[in-house]
Amino acid sequence: MASYSGYCVKCREKREFEGVEVDLGNGRKAAQGACPTCGTKMTRMLGKS
């Protein structure tokens, strides 16, 4: 698992989260993981490379 930074909608703060890279249905890549504070699912869109 890699570390990413993203925005938690429930906490309303930017947080570092552990996540994995996934391919979304539209072909884009994203990192998905859980917020370390509240456990809400976080998603960060990634670039093409």
Q: Where are the domains of the chain?
A: 2-45
Confidence label for 1 from pLDDT (cuts 50, 70 and 90): confident
Q: Which residues contact 11 (CB under 8 A, 6 or more apart)?
A: 35, 37, 38, 40
Q: Which residues contact 26 (CB under 8 A, 6 or more apart)?
A: none
| DSSP tag of 27 | S
pTM of the model: 0.82
Average pLDDT over all residues of the chain: 94
Confidence label for 49 from pLDDT (cuts 50, 70 and 90): low
How many Å separate Cα 42 from the centre of its chain? 4
Confidence label for 48 from pLDDT (cuts 50, 70 and 90): confident
